């Protein structure tokens, strides 16, 4: 049976979601850095008190979006890298495409997580990124170990670290931090092919 607090709890969740959507809209408009908490709550249709009842500051609301993006990438990457079927080449190709797609879809929050928070607020972002990268490296290492006969690289765990760094670093710097590539599908396709070429070459993927 629902408790008497359930409607209030639902409203609280809805208010939090409206605040997050307001921050997301500011990110899309490249207006987050200059926005105030008052700007955020005006768009969300709630009070400043309601905001501070849920978030310490606007960077905490930004972090909620950033963390959701990290969670989604981890979940989608696990579905690709830990799939029971599929060749190593197929899984690498799918993983690269996944990271590219996620980076394009979440460009505003990735950029904001890199440059927007004040120095005192940057730690949660860097720590969450480290956790995500560690998880991706762990899964990539397991994949490479299970297909060690398909690669020339003799240290699959070390290779996993560099593969994730290559894919993550290039997509972040090429697609999230700039706009030129991300605005042209042909450029994105070529960019993706170049990443695959680098990863396959580094691993010494055997055909």
Find the CATH number of the domain harbouring 151: 1.10.357.10
- 10, 27, 55: which is the final residue of a domain? 55
Residue range 3-31: mean pLDDT, rounded = 83
Chain centre to alpha carbon of residue 126 = 12
**Residue for token digits 């849920």?**
54
Nearest to residue 22, comparing CAs of 11, 38, 9? 38
- 55, 82, 98: which is the final residue of a domain? 55
Confidence at residue 8, expressed as pLDDT on a 0 to 100 scale: 65
Residues 102 and 186 in one domain: yes
Residues 107 and 170 in one domain: yes
Asked whether the predicted pLDDT for residue 44 surpasses 70, the reply is yes
Lowest mean pLDDT among 19-23, 59-63, 109-113, 135-139: 109-113
Residues 12 and 63 in one domain: no
Residues 35 and 90 in one domain: no
Task: Round to whole Å and give the CA distance between 148 and 156.
Answer: 7
Query: Percent of the chain at pLDDT above 70?
Result: 90
Q: pLDDT confidence of 3, banded at 50, 70, 90?
A: very low
Find the CATH number of the domain harbouring 43: 1.10.10.60
Residues 91 and 4 in one domain: no
Q: What is the pLDDT of residues 50-72, one digit of tens each?
A: 999 999 999 999 999 999 999 99
Residues 24 and 74 in one domain: no
Residue range 179-192: mean pLDDT, rounded = 76
Asked whether the predicted pLDDT for residue 46 surpasses 70, the reply is yes
The residue segments making up the domain with residue 129 are 57-203
Residues 82 and 138 in one domain: yes
Could you tell me the two tokens for 41?
A: 């709550």
Residues 97 and 187 in one domain: yes
Residues 162 and 177 in one domain: yes
Q: What is the DSSP letter of 173?
A: I
- 55, 75, 92: which is the final residue of a domain? 55
Residues 80 and 29 in one domain: no
Asked whether the predicted pLDDT for residue 117 surpasses 80, the reply is no
Mean pLDDT (the chain, rounded): 89
* Residue 86 CB neighbour total at 10 angstroms: 14
Better-scored residue on pLDDT, 39 or 179: 39
Confidence at residue 179, expressed as pLDDT on a 0 to 100 scale: 62
Residues 77 and 24 in one domain: no
Residues 77 and 28 in one domain: no
Residue range 36-48: mean pLDDT, rounded = 96
Q: pLDDT confidence of 2, banded at 50, 70, 90?
A: very low
Domain count, the chain: 2
Q: pLDDT confidence of 178, banded at 50, 70, 90?
A: low
Task: Round to whole Å and give the CA distance between 200 and 31.
Answer: 39
């Amino acid at each position: 049976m629902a408790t008497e607090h359930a409607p209030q709890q639902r409203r609280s969740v809805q208010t939090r979601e409206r605040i997050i959507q307001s921050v997301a809209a500011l990110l899309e408009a490249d207006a987050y850095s200059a926005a105030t908490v008052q700007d955020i709550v005006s768009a969300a249709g709630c009070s400043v008190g309601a905001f501070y009842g849920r978030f310490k500051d606007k960077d905490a609301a930004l972090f909620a979006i950033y963390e959701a993006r990290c969670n989604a990438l981890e979940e989608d990457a696990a579905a690709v890298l830990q799939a029971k079927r599929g060749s190593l080449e197929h899984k690498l190709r799918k993983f690269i495409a996944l990271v590219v797609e996620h980076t394009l879809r979440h460009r505003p929050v990735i950029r904001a997580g890199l440059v927007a928070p004040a120095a005192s607020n940057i730690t949660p972002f860097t720590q969450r990124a480290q956790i995500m990268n560690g998880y991706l490296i762990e899964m990539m290492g397991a994949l490479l170990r299970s297909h060690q006969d398909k690669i020339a690289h003799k240290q699959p765990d070390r290779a996993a670290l560099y593969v994730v760094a290559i894919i993550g670093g290039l997509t972040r710097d090429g697609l999230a931090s700039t706009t030129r590539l991300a605005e042209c599908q042909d450029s994105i396709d070529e960019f993706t092919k170049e990443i695959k070429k680098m990863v396959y070459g580094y691993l010494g993927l055997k055909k």
